[in-house]
Structure 1
């Protein structure tokens, strides 16, 4: 169901998608879909949670490799773009619809899903903030506000998903190289 929701939200847009569209795509009635999701927002929040958990997992795997900080930064930035095609749509949805996490939901399950998704977004920010603060402590980058820098880095990295389309004018590998070089420079990592 989340794969069908990802396709619909990513291709048609969240606002233009109805739960009935998703139900039809998976071959069930709309009423049956309500067994899984209280609302379209509940479905969206679940999708954001799954995406952010995977992002956190990839982050943790890179950190667990115990790389030198500069190399860890480089690997994490590159890895932001080296994702499967279905993650491209999901990333676009997360970036485009993340603002919905700011407003309380109506139903109990929907609100629980919203809070969980919001917590995973905050966890991702905290991951980057901790890494960047450590890089500052090691002298890899100059001291500055790690929270603000983490948000700036995430903003730069996520901006791609607004306009990138698979098979378009540039491939993910090329984007990865382009943004890695410039993001490292932006945060102050020496070449």
Structure 2
């Protein structure tokens, strides 16, 4: 028997991640079996383990992929230096990025409870790195007197929770276009930050 080529192996691994993403987002981590994932991809269960160690490892890969892509995209967004402009840009970035990836967002936020402590610590550190970007710009704005904040960390958590919630209700075919949602949320984030 010939061994699969590296390209074919990478393609299969990507198909496994895509299938796991769909199934876990739809049914939840606890309800999805490795047998279901294998069936979705057209593999025998044993062959699945050539690409992933176990279900926990697959969950971590999905979350890590999401967080690495999110952090890279935020870096590429190159937020402005001025705090109010930076807040507006962060809000728009967060909504656009997350609205395009509702399954990844659902898993990254709702399935944290299913991670082992070590895996949780890894993903939580990545989440904290993302949150730190917003917290830093809020703290700079407060220090410059353009934001009236009692606590930049609390404001960060409140704003991110508000922005991420968009993925639970926004539908492209709905009443509002994404650009309109962004404008509404920019206004709410400015109020939450106490823009003077």
Pairwise TM-score range, normalised by the shorter structure: 0.7 to 0.9
Matching residue of 1:152:
158
Contact kept? 1:81, 1:173, Cα under 8 Å: no
Deviations 1:30-68 (A, max 9, x none): 222223333323212221111112222222223x35442
Q: How many residues align?
A: 181
Change (3 A) 1:58 1:144: farther
Q: 1:30 to 1:165 in 2, by over 3 A?
A: farther
Matched, 1:189 2:184: no
1:138 corresponds to which residue?
Answer: 144
TM-score (norm: length of structure 2): 0.78
Structure having the higher Rg:
2
Q: Which residue of 1 aligns with 2:10?
A: none
1:170 Cα deviation after fit: 4.4
Runs of 5+ consecutive residues of structure 2 not aligned to the other structure: 1-15
Q: Where does the alignment leave 5 or more consecutive residues of structure 1 unmatched?
A: 105-110
Q: Residues 125-175 of structure 1: CA distance to partner in whole angstroms, max 9, x if unpaired?
A: 222221211121222202422212111111111222334455455443332
Give the structure 2 partner of residue 107 of structure 1.
Answer: none
Q: State the 1:84 CA deviation.
A: 7.7
Q: 2:89 aligns with which of 55, 69, 75?
A: 75
The match for 1:13 among 11, 28, 46 is 28
Question: Residue in 1 aligned with 2:43?
Answer: 28
TM-score by length of 1: 0.80
Task: Tell me how large the CA RMSD over aligned residues is.
Answer: 2.4
Change (3 A) 1:65 1:168: closer
